[in-house]
Structure 1
Amino acid sequence: MRKWLPLVTICLGAFILLVDVTIVNVALPKMASDLDAPFSSLQWVIDGYALALAALLLVAGSLGDLLGHRRIYVAGLCVFAAASLGAALSPNAGALIAARAVQGVGGAAMFATSAALVALTYQGRDRGVAFGVWGAVNGAAAAAGPILGGLLTQGFGWEAVFLVNLPVAAVAIVIAQRALPPAGRRGKGRLDLPGAATFTLAAAALTYALIRGGDDGWAGAPTLAAFAVTVAAAVAFVAVEARSGHPMIDLALLRRPGFCGLLGGALLYQAAAFSGLVYFSLWLQDVLGLSPIRGGLALMPMAGTAFVVAAVAGRHMHRVPARVPIAGGLLVIGLGCALLALTVRTSSGQSAIFTGLAVIGAGVGLTTPVLASAANDAVPPHQAGMAGGAVNTARQLGMTIGVALLGAVFTDRLRTVASLGGSEHAAYAAGLDRISWYAAAAGLAGALAVFALVRPSRTAAPALPAHGPDAPAAAERKPAAR
């Protein structure tokens, strides 16, 4: 069992950082009440975390490649735990949003290094088993967030959704120091600060534009200005990366259709599968009147099927081309979202969402275990941290953009139905119907992109010489995706 201790600490870190993407969904109504804050501001409790996570994953991946993945992983655990304590002690919405952003910093350090640590620690059949277990944890974590959030919020208050991270992080830190392979400085280089700054600005401006546009209109001056900043910062990021000697993302990777397909699939996967959960949580509590526990348990079919499918299928997915489970999972997610759109009506109860959520969970279980390993196999070994960071960045940007965009659509439908004299039940049903169709379209688009672009290569990615910390991983690499 000792050989699996590294996997235990990696999975503990992955679990708490991904649970925290969605664990606040069910707790938002209670947070709004206790902190006397409108929902529009508390939307940043979700987006602030996901945005910091997405914006800094590439930076964290680069630091892992330069300084050693274990060092960055443990540092991330420490930051995440401290920020979780700060979030639980927040006296107002502003302090809570700031603490969530710092949580995202720690989460980025953990998320960007976890897949690389699995690849460096295990070889052969053990690596397949390790990635299967790690993928199952990834697949179930975000889906399980609302359930845990409901149990903790009703039982102990919303602060408990953050305090629960502290003992888990402490155990993970102790095991990491003893079990993870040590690594000194892995390479020469420096952090790409201009690239980090321009990318963060572009992501933040886009998120702000989507939220502001949904609240105040798409033609308003602040919204248009934010979109302009997004474009300018994105252009600056590309220019900086093209000239940098140590870029966060090697732009040559973007000329690989397979890698671009993985990025697009990762972004649309997160947007389709998870972005709508916060609005279904509001419907369950505010319209159906369920308690936080019952509201969280109503979302359990998604978490249960995600974990079971990922655990069963993840161990065998290395036998088929990566595009099969990824594209197939996205297609299943799209089907589940379409089922939600077809079943939620004005008179619907909580059972109306069970089948759709279970189908979405099955798609999550198929997709998650393969994304990270496919990204590692799509690039040379010395760029594994960069590739993993890029794919995980796309995932979290998908969550951030999805919550903001679906929030704008949802709010618009509520206002339209209310202006026509419709009831609250009718307004929420119309809003959930619309965002579910949008999510279904995202899942289908992601499936088509992955199936068209991600293909198995006939040759393996260039390998490093057989020495140094990457030697075992390089020796075990499979053919890369083009």
Structure 2
Amino acid sequence: MKRRIAAPTEPAAECSELTRSVRWSLAGLSLTMLLSALGTSIANVGLPTLARVFEAPFQDVQWVVLAYLLAITALIVGVGRLGDIVGRRRLLLGGIAVFTLASGLSGLAPTLWLLVAARAAQGLGAAVMMALTMAFVAETVPKARTGSAMGLLGTMSAIGTALGPPLGGALIAGFGWSALFLVNVPLGILTYVLAHCHLPADRNAATRADARFDVFGTLVLASTLVAYALAMTIGRGHFGPLNVVLLLAAALGVGAFAMVETKVASPLIRLTTFRDPALSANLITNGLVSTVMMTTLVVGPFYLTRALGLDAAVIGLVMSVGPVVAAISGVPAGRFVDRFGARPVILAGLTAIATGAVGLSTLPATLGIPGYLAPIVIVTAGYALFQAANNTAVMADVPPDRRGVISGMLNLSRNLGLVTGASVMGAVFSLASAASDISTAPPEAAATAMRVTFAVAAGLILLAIVIAVAARALTVRSASIDDGLRNRTR
């Protein structure tokens, strides 16, 4: 199919054709978001099978998941910036192709470590897809509908997350472990075709004199992020000497990266970017919210098992409620953003998450399953509101030559929050239970750990609210000062 790009001078009669093109573009972007989320969630359910097939211990098999996550975390900002330079369309098409090819190689891998290598390559493709998908929204969707588009992408991410475990279980039962990865091949081909046929052509950003890729800065940042992610994942929540060394390496890496970025002519991340209080607040609150959302996924199964005594089938059903609510509420959340603006919806979403976290800290102990589900619904609906509004606020006014890197930073803050939530909040739950092994903790200990963990989670969201309000006040004050200076010079 040949792509058709409307000329700026086309008459109004051509608007219907443009609208259909936008819808097909959004279909391609939605599948891109779905695939990257599915790649994360579908592999977890296959780890026991992979351990048996390859006769490997869990410590080795977990690298099938870690390799994918580490590749995304390390590369997502760099590939976003690369898209700004070489062209987002051609790089996104390359990312989809790499993801699809690596999915096929993963399914055909004869050894565990070849599978891990293929999963790392799949993570590279996913990093490109995640970094550039939101960057394309500003180029394909009218500004008045940006919130709805962001809500749709959030919905597709939630569907991918929710679909992974049940789809993975069905594929393993019916076709074997290879199907976990081979299922992405036809979906990847369809995504590539849609993106190739309907996404807008690249502008010649690479012809600008200052458009150089910061290779050294990218390597330093990637090494720093890998050190942090490994520090948060090795030991599964139990910190030892290696975790401390990795955290120190990450801290040194942050300083080294800041020094490098002040020396290069075309930095990967302009440090002056963080002087914008609104953007900095959006990134920090995004990380805090992601930390809390991961807490529900990590802590939930332990609490439902130990405190409420539920079996695996019921736990799976209860845990599926959150992703289903996210999938249902994503598009309506985007419409709220379009109607009321991003800032009010961000605060509404944060307030809902805080309310739900307080509910998770207090209600399950007295109301059982209903006391767990009601706060989860509130937290997840609040997350859908926050995600649509926060993504819109970050990407709304970004210059075209920085959309890729800013989108990468936004996704990075989310990934770091997920990694931190899985480790730190899991450790909080374990420490609060005062049990040597949380999987065998008595019901009272699990209930106490639940109260403490989500009290901490509620505190994190209250901190996010304070940051959002303070950033808004600073932005308003700065705008007032600028207006006063302009009036004086007239």
Give the TM-score taking structure 1 as reference length. Answer: 0.82
The CA distance in 1 between the partners of 2:42 and 2:449, in whole Å, is 22
Q: How many aligned residue pairs are there?
A: 453
Does 2:140 correspond to 1:121?
yes
* CA positional deviation for 1:250: 1.1
CA distance in 2, matches of 1:274, 1:174: 33
Of 34, 49, 53, the match for 1:15: 34
1:443 equivalent in alignment to 2:461: yes
- Alpha-carbon distance in structure 2 between the residues aligned to 1:35 and 1:349: 40
Q: Match of 2:10? A: none
Distance in 2 of aligned mates of 1:203 and 1:439: 24
Tell me if structure 1 keeps the 8 A contact 2:278–2:471.
Answer: yes
The answer on whether the counterparts of 2:158 and 2:324 sit within 8 Å (CA) in structure 1 is no
State yes or no: 1:102 paired with 2:132: no
8 Å contact from structure 1 (residues 147, 300) kept in 2: no
Q: Tell which deviates more after alignment, 174-183 or 139-148.
A: 139-148
1:238 and 2:258 matched: yes
Match of 1:404 among 412, 417, 423: 423
Amino acid aligned to 1:370: A
Partner of 2:5: none
Shift of 1:252: 0.7
More displaced stretch, 227-236 vs 374-383:
374-383
Native 8 Å contact 2:45 2:169 kept in 1: yes
Q: One-letter code of the match for 1:441?
A: G
Q: Which residue identity is paired with 1:64?
A: G
Amino acid at match of 2:377: A
- Structure 2 counterpart of 1:192: 214
The secondary structure found in structure 2 opposite 1:9 is helix
Corresponding residue to 1:331 among 351, 355, 363? 351
Supply the distance in 2 between the matched residues of 1:276 and 1:254 (Cα, whole angstroms). 30
Matched, 1:228 2:230: no
C-alpha distance after superposition, 1:262-314 (max 9, x if no partner): 110111122111354145356768974425xx654332221222122221121
Pick from 201, 204, 210 the counterpart of residue 223 of structure 2. 201
* Whole-Å separation in 2 of the counterparts to 1:282 and 1:150: 21
Contact 1:333 1:360 in 2 (8 A): yes
Deviates more, 1:251-260 or 1:222-231: 222-231
Structure 2 counterpart of 1:320 = 340
Query: In structure 2, what is the equivalent of residue 78 of structure 1?
Result: 97
2:188 maps to which residue? Answer: 169
Residue identity over aligned pairs, in percent, reads 30
1:360 positional shift: 2.1
- Whether the 8 Å CA contact 2:146–2:338 is kept in 1: the answer is no
Equivalent residue number for residue 470 of structure 1: none
Mapped to 2, the partners of 1:48 and 1:433 lie a distance apart of: 33
Q: Is the 8 A contact 1:210 1:408 kept in 2?
A: no
Question: Which residue does 1:468 correspond to in 2?
Answer: none
Structure 1: unaligned runs, 5 residues or longer? 460-482
Amino acid at match of 1:51: L
CA distance in 1, matches of 2:303, 2:78: 37
Deviations 1:382-439 (A, max 9, x none): 322222111111111111222222343455567x424799656666556555544443
The 2-side partners of 1:394 and 1:363 are apart by 18
Q: Secondary structure in 2 aligned to 1:311?
A: helix
SS in 2 for 1:417: coil
Kindly tell me: are residues 341 and 163 of structure 1, through their superposed partners in 2, closer, same or farther at Cα, counting changes over 3 Å?
Answer: farther
- 8 Å CA contact 1:151–1:296 kept in 2: the answer is no
**CA–CA distance in structure 1, aligned partners of residues 297 and 54 of structure 2:** 22
Corresponding position of 1:49 = 68
1:251 is aligned to 271
Letter aligned with residue 443 of structure 1: I
Per-residue Cα deviation, 1:371-391 (whole angstroms, up to 9, x for no partner):
222112354343222221111
Distance, in Å, in 1 between the alignment partners of 2:463 and 2:171 is 36
Partners of 1:150 and 1:296 within 8 A in 2? no
Cα distance change on mapping 1:392 and 1:249 into 2, 3 Å? same
Larger mean Cα displacement after TM superposition, 200-209 or 428-437: 428-437
- Deviation of 1:443 (Å): 2.8
**Which AA in structure 1 matches 2:214?**
D
RMSD: 3.4
Whole-Å Cα distance in 2 between the matches of residues 425 and 404 of structure 1? Answer: 22
Moved more, 400-409 or 148-157: 148-157
Secondary structure of the corresponding residue to residue 243 of structure 1 = coil
- Aligned counterparts of 2:386 and 2:38: Cα–Cα separation in 1: 17
Aligned-partner Cα distance in 2 for 1:215–1:273: 17
Structure 2 vs 1, CA of residues 370 and 156 (structure 1 numbering), >3 Å: closer, same or farther? Answer: farther
Give, as a single letter, the amino acid of the residue that structure 1 aligns with 2:293: A
How many angstroms apart in 2 are the aligned matches of 1:380 and 1:413?
A: 46
Pair 1:394-2:416 in alignment = no
Residue in 2 aligned with 1:264? Answer: 284
Change (3 A) 1:319 1:341: same
Structure 1 position 323, deviation (Å): 2.7
The whole-number CA distance in structure 2 between the counterparts of 1:442 and 1:38 is 36
Residue in structure 2 matched with residue 309 of structure 1 by the alignment = 329
Instruction: Provide the rounded CA distance (Å) in 2 between the counterparts of 1:23 and 1:421.
Output: 23
Q: Could you say which structure has the larger radius of gyration?
A: 2
Q: CA deviation at 1:175?
A: 1.2
Paired AA for residue 451 in structure 1: V
Give the superposition deviation at 1:261.
0.1
Cα distance change on mapping 1:109 and 1:422 into 2, 3 Å: closer
CA distance in 1, matches of 2:184, 2:45: 17
Say whether the 8 Å CA contact 1:136–1:368 is kept in structure 2. no
Q: Report the Cα distance in structure 1 between the residues aligned to 2:21 and 2:270, rounded to whole angstroms.
A: 37
Q: Deviation string for 1:177-217 (max 9, x for gaps)?
A: 11111215323322211111111111121222233466664
SS of equivalent to 1:246: coil
Whole-Å Cα distance in 2 between the matches of residues 55 and 279 of structure 1?
26
Tell me the residue number matched to 2:470.
Answer: 452
- Taking the aligned partners of 2:35 and 2:439, their CA distance within structure 1 comes to 43
The CA distance in 2 between the partners of 1:111 and 1:23, in whole Å, is 17
Mapped to 2, the partners of 1:444 and 1:46 lie a distance apart of 32
One-letter identity of the residue aligned with 1:388: S
| Stretch deviating more after TM superposition (72-81 or 301-310) | 301-310
Query: 1:375 and 1:257 mapped to 2: Cα distance?
Result: 11
| Partner secondary structure for residue 4 of structure 1 | helix
Partner of 1:476: none
Cα distance in structure 2, aligned partners of 1:88 and 1:331? 43
